[in-house]
């Protein structure tokens, strides 16, 4: 089959690889019909190279049709239409029982001390073959796959794999008081959906911050008051001005480790890019290598006593953070990979509603054949051609 594979920094290719087969009784095989590129994939494309091997299959936002199921998979049958969560979770351990599927004890990667395995996401997360391919082996298929009805277009359901539950969790963890205010830093797919979900769940004022015109425009279209990073040196000051001088009750960081605005982290990123893997890997695992611009702005922006909710991915082990300010402002901080299945009961009714209350149909800007993945990654990274979300169709 054809698959999108990693070959180095900014080098993904389409390779011919063996078709996946059932390896465990809890596996299923799906034929992929749609598979999206995520901001998290851009971290693999740019800085997380030391944790990948050449030929690793990327992708963690797939949906498709079940082809075959292992003997322990009873709830699925060939022909079912399913969305696959990016967390590989078992559904029966203590963590899954507590709704913390991204910490699943059955699939935790003990070698690296990390949480649940993830599809297509480095050795740190189990080096599971990803879903940007014609076929996918789905581990823990007795629990993971989300069955969706026939009929509506893939885009109505595809974002249940990651974007929607991540944005839902970001809003949940942001603890916006009823009728309160929230600022969303980063208006990529996660930020876009966080804006809509915050509005849907009753936030009175949703501020959106980015520096890409069409992303700001999309957020405005869905009810955000936007602030262009390029227009203000003091972004926190601007956001305070819009909130009676106090700052928003909550701030969501939907940017992560590759924030615009260089600093120390940029140097570290360039440095690790030049080192051989055996030197870069421990450096990345044990030092502070993130570009913290957005997170620092989030901490500065939030109201005293407010909450910062981080869904952007960070990877440095020793990042310097402004503890004085965080302590002084009495902040609450929540973060983590999304627990996909936990939020499906909230989301499935919304995406299944013909009125499309979250306007999920207005997110993907590009639908391209799988073959065009190398160009699609470059376009999405460089934010060219109005790309906000790219869906590949094998």
Ligand X SMILES: NC(=O)c1ccc[n+]([C@@H]2O[C@H](COP(=O)([O-])OP(=O)(O)OC[C@H]3O[C@@H](n4cnc5c(N)ncnc54)[C@H](O)[C@@H]3O)[C@@H](O)[C@H]2O)c1
Minimum distance from residue 236 beta carbon to ligand X (Å): 11
Minimum distance from residue 242 beta carbon to ligand X (Å): 15
User: Hey, how many other C-beta atoms are within 10 angstroms of the C-beta on 260?
Assistant: 14
* Strand-strand pairing, 146-147 and 81-83: antiparallel
Query: What's the CA angle centered on 381, arms 266 and 301, to 5 degrees?
Result: 60
Minimum distance from residue 95 beta carbon to Zn ion (Å): 5
Minimum distance from residue 58 beta carbon to Zn ion (Å): 11
Minimum distance from residue 354 beta carbon to Zn ion (Å): 26
| Residue 108 in the binding site for Zn ion (CB under 5 A) | no
Which residues sit at the interface with ligand X, rule CB under 6 A? 38-40, 42-43, 162, 166, 185-191, 209-212, 215, 229, 254-256, 259-261, 293-294, 311-313, 337-338
| Residue 162 in the binding site for Zn ion (CB under 5 A) | yes
Please select the residue that binds Zn ion; options are 88, 96, 235, 390, rule is CB under 5 A.
96
User: Hey, how many other C-beta atoms are within 10 angstroms of the C-beta on 25?
Assistant: 12
Stretch that binds Zn ion, among 65-73, 98-106, 220-228, 368-376 (CB under 5 A): 98-106
| Residue 102 in the binding site for Zn ion (CB under 5 A) | no
Alpha-carbon separation of residue 121 from 192, 341, 365 (angstroms): 23, 18, 24
* Nearer CB in complex with Zn ion: 206/340: 340
**How would DSSP label each residue in 281-323?**
HHHHHHS---B-HHHHHHHHHSPTT-EEEE-S----SS----H
Which of 214, 85, 223, 253 shows the shortest CA–CA distance to 159? Answer: 85
Which tokens in the block code for residue 38?
A: 């995520």
User: Hey, how many other C-beta atoms are within 10 angstroms of the C-beta on 202?
Assistant: 11
* Nearer CB in complex with ligand X: 71/230: 230
* Nearer CB in complex with Zn ion: 49/165: 165
CA distance 232 to 215: 17
User: Hey, how many other C-beta atoms are within 10 angstroms of the C-beta on 74?
Assistant: 8
CA distance 64 to 22: 16
| Residue 160 in the binding site for Zn ion (CB under 5 A) | no
* Nearer CB in complex with ligand X: 2/223: 223
Minimum distance from residue 145 beta carbon to Zn ion (Å): 15
Instruction: Tell me if residue 153 falls in helix, strand or coil.
Output: coil
| Residue 93 in the binding site for Zn ion (CB under 5 A) | yes
Stretch that binds Zn ion, among 50-58, 99-107, 343-351, 364-372 (CB under 5 A): 99-107
* Strand-strand pairing, 366-369 and 307-310: unpaired
Minimum distance from residue 294 beta carbon to ligand X (Å): 4
| Residue 88 in the binding site for Zn ion (CB under 5 A) | no
Minimum distance from residue 220 beta carbon to ligand X (Å): 14
* Nearer CB in complex with ligand X: 20/39: 39
Choosing among ligand X, Zn ion, none, which partner's interface includes residue 293 (Cβ < 5 to 8 Å by kind)? ligand X
Choosing among ligand X, Zn ion, none, which partner's interface includes residue 106 (Cβ < 5 to 8 Å by kind)? Zn ion
Choosing among ligand X, Zn ion, none, which partner's interface includes residue 104 (Cβ < 5 to 8 Å by kind)? Zn ion
| Residue 38 in the binding site for Zn ion (CB under 5 A) | yes
Find out whether 184 and 209 touch, Cβ atoms under 8 Å: yes
Choosing among ligand X, Zn ion, none, which partner's interface includes residue 209 (Cβ < 5 to 8 Å by kind)? ligand X
Instruction: Tell me if residue 194 falls in helix, strand or coil.
Output: helix
Cβ neighbors of 265 (< 8 A, separation 6 or more) are 257, 259, 288, 289, 290, 291, 292, 316
Choosing among Zn ion, ligand X, none, which partner's interface includes residue 144 (Cβ < 5 to 8 Å by kind)? none
* Nearer CB in complex with Zn ion: 104/289: 104
Which of 266, 335, 316, 324 shows the shortest CA–CA distance to 300? Answer: 324
Minimum distance from residue 50 beta carbon to Zn ion (Å): 20
Chain residues in the site for Zn ion (CB under 5 A):
38, 40, 89-90, 93, 96, 104, 106, 162
């Amino acid at each position: 089959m054809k698959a999108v594979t990693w070959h180095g920094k900014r080098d993904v290719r389409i390779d011919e690889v063996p078709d996946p087969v059932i390896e465990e009784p809890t596996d299923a095989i799906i034929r992929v019909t749609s598979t999206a590129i995520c901001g998290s994939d851009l971290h693999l494309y740019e800085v997380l190279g030391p944790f990948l091997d050449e030929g690793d299959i990327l992708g963690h936002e797939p949906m498709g049709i079940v082809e075959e199921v292992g003997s322990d998979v009873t709830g699925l049958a060939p022909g079912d239409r399913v969305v696959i969560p990016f967390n590989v979770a078992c559904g029966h351990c203590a963590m899954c029982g507590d709704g913390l599927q991204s910490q699943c004890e059955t699939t935790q990667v003990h070698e690296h001390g990390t949480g649940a395995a993830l599809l297509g996401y480095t050795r740190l997360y189990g080096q599971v073959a990803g879903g940007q391919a014609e076929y996918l082996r789905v581990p823990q298929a007795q629990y993971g796959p989300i069955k969706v009805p026939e009929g509506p277009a893939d885009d109505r359901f595809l974002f249940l794999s990651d974007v929607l539950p991540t944005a839902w969790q970001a809003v949940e963890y942001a603890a916006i008081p009823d009728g309160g205010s929230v600022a969303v830093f980063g208006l990529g797919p996660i930020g876009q959906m966080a804006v809509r979900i915050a509005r849907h769940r009753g936030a009175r004022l949703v501020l959106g911050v980015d520096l890409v015109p069409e992303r700001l425009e999309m957020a405005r279209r869905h009810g955000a008051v936007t602030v262009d990073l390029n227009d203000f040196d003091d972004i926190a000051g601007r956001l305070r001005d819009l909130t009676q001088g106090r700052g928003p009750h909550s701030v969501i960081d939907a940017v992560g480790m590759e924030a615009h605005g260089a600093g120390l982290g940029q140097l570290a990123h360039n440095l690790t890019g030049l080192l051989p893997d055996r030197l870069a890997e421990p450096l990345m695992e044990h030092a502070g290598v993130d570009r913290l611009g957005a997170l620092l702005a989030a901490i500065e922006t939030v109201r005293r006593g407010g909450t910062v909710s981080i869904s952007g991915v960070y990877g440095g082990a020793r990042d310097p953070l402004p503890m004085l300010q965080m302590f002084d402002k009495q902040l609450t901080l929540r973060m983590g990979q999304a627990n996909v299945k936990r939020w499906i009961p909230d989301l499935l009714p919304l995406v299944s509603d013909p009125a499309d209350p979250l306007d999920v149909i207005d997110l993907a800007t590009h639908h391209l054949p799988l073959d065009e993945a190398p160009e699609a990654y470059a376009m999405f990274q460089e934010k060219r051609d109005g790309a906000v979300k790219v869906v590949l169709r094998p």
